[in-house]
Structure 1
Amino acid sequence: MLVLLPPSETKSTGGAGAPLDLGSLSHPELNPTRRTVVDALTALAADVPASLSVLGLSERQAEEAERNAALRTAPTAPALERYTGVLYDALDVGSLTPAERKQADDRLAVASALFGLVRGVDRIPAYRLSGGGSLPGLGTLRSVWRPVLEPVLAVDELVVDLRSGAYAALAKVPGAVAVRVLSEDAAGHRKVVSHHNKAHKGALARALAQAPDEPSGVDDVLAVAEAAGMRVEREGERALCVVV
């Protein structure tokens, strides 16, 4: 099973790992594109005002843009510890047992505008780059990543896709199980959950990482979610809905 997570705009700082080594990352076939994107982002970082404009940041967020200048020299941390925010708070890898953490590292992967795809143990620096953006000289990140990332994600196993729209656009995964989150009021009316859908997706990712037996189909995902106290409904052959 492969569970695809979105990254987060916020990231932890620092880290105990050596500087970025693309050769150490999972999916080495992505390294030529990773190198191209890293080079473009670090070149952009030499001009902070231009970085703020391209990355859609305010002057108060200049430190975020400045991180990109140190991509090759900054300390690194495992990807599942680097990303922060609502989804990763719910995933809470720090509280997993060693056996569960190994399963999380094996089963979960994070979509990344900078690295394409990273596994839990891949050590990466803090950075700022959004999947829906573009970089000077490269164009849209969607156009950069899709040709190389889609073959990597054409795997012969269950894929549970928890990515947000901008990151789902970086690569289509035919046959993946799509998951959406809806809230239900007392009258039974449902509507799409926006910001807080991340917490429920994080909780589902945690349950899938903790499952003693690795899910191999949609029914297995449903069973794991229900055992974790979640209300999940099947909406089609390859679609699930978390109801909150």
Structure 2
Amino acid sequence: MLVLLPPSETKADGGKGPPLDLAALSFPALNPVRAKLADALADLARDVPASLAALGISARQSEEVTRNARLWSSPTMPALSRYTGVLYDALDVRGFTKAGLAKAQRRLAVTSSLFGVVSATDPIPAYRLSGGNTVPGLGTVRGLWKPVLEPVLREIDGLVVDLRSGTYSAFAKLRPDAVTVRVVTEDAHGNRTTVSHFNKAYKGRLAAVLATTRAEPSTVEQLIRVIAKAGITVERTGEHALELVTGD
């Protein structure tokens, strides 16, 4: 089973790993686009106003441009530790047991504007690039990734659980049998609406359950049993579609 997570805008500083080495990353077929994007971002960082405009950030976030300037020289850390924010707080990797962490490292992957997709243990630097950005001279991030990322993701064996956000789902379609999860809330009348504010937190909790379970689900039915056993309400709404029902 592979659980595909969205990235986060916020990322941890520092790291103890050596500088970025694309050869150390999973999914090597993506390396040509990774190199092209990393070089473009580092070059763009020489012009701070242009970088701010391209990245869609304000002058108060100029440290993000500095991160991009140091893409090839700054220290790295495992992707699962690099990404922060609501989803990753709820995932709470630091709270995993040693056995749970080993499973999570094997089962989790993160979509990325810069790297396409990375495995949990891939060593990456801090950077700034969003899914909706356009890189001068290269075009939209989505347009760059779609032709190369889609065939790579479609080759993943076994059960795939898609927890990507809409922005990153547009990077590449998965196989038709990939399981999608929609977080909804149900009112007293049984009406359901998509959860927005707490969507990331619920997906983080779900990812934690799937990452650490002793089971090895290979079908939708087995997946539902694992989730239900953890006390999370989930319903099947299609052959490969689930709704996680909250009471918020």
Could you say which TM-score interval applies, normalised by the shorter chain?
A: over 0.9
Match of 1:232 in 2: 234
How far the C-alpha of 1:101 sits from its partner, in A, is: 0.9
SS in 2 for 1:10: coil
The match for 2:60 is 60
The aligned amino acid for 1:85 is G
Percent identity over paired residues: 61
Residues 208, 215 of structure 1: 8 Å contact kept: no
2:57 alignment partner AA:
L
Q: Within 1, Cα distance between the matches of 2:132 and 2:225?
A: 34
**Partner SS for 1:153:** helix
| Deviations 1:183-236 (CA, angstroms, capped at 9, x unpaired) | 122332221111310011111111001111221111122111111110101000
| 1:151-209 C-alpha deviation (Å, 9 max, x unpaired) | 11112311100000111111110321111101122332221111310011111111001
Matched residues in 1 for 2:215 and 2:232: separation? Answer: 18
Deviates more, 1:3-12 or 1:188-197: 188-197
User: TM-score by structure 1 length?
Assistant: 0.97
In structure 2, the partner of 1:186 is: 188
Listed as ranges, the gaps of 5+ residues in structure 2 are: none
- Is contact 2:215-2:226 (8 Å) kept? no
**RMSD, aligned CA:** 1.0
CA distances 1:62-109 after superposition (whole Å, capped 9, x unpaired): 112221101111111100000001100111111111111111111110
What is aligned with 1:163? 164
Distance 1:236 1:64 in 2: 41
Deviation above 4 Å: which 4+ runs of structure 1? none
Question: Aligned equivalents of 1:137 and 1:102: distance in 2?
Answer: 40
- Partner-residue secondary structure (3-state), 1:174: coil
Which residue number in structure 1 is paired with residue 77 of structure 2? 77
Distance 2:148 2:164 in 1: 18
Q: Does 1:241 align with 2:243?
A: yes
**Equivalence for 2:148:** 148
For structure 1, the residue ranges without an aligned partner over 5 or more in a row are none
Aligned residues: 244
SS in 2 for 1:215: coil
Please give the per-residue CA displacement for 1:95-143, whole angstroms capped at 9, x wherever unaligned: 1111111111111100000001100110111111011211011111111
Question: Amino acid of the residue matched to residue 61 of structure 1?
Answer: Q
User: Alignment partner of 1:32: what SS?
Assistant: helix
Paired residues for 1:114-129 under 5 Å: 114-129=114-129
How far apart, CA to CA, are the structure 2 residues paired with 1:58 and 1:187?
Answer: 44
Secondary structure of the structure 1 residue equivalent to 2:208:
helix
Distance (whole Å) between structure 2 residues aligned to residue 48 and residue 218 of structure 1:
48
Task: Report the residue type matching 1:109 in the other structure.
Answer: A
Aligned-residue offset at 1:149: 0.8
Structure 1 stretch displaced more, 106-115 or 219-228 = 219-228
2:86 is matched with which residue? 86
| Distance in 1 between residues matched to 2:45 and 2:198, nearest whole Å | 32
Three-state SS of the structure 1 residue aligned to 2:62 is helix
Q: Counterpart of 1:152 in 2: which secondary structure?
A: helix
Amino acid paired to 2:19: P
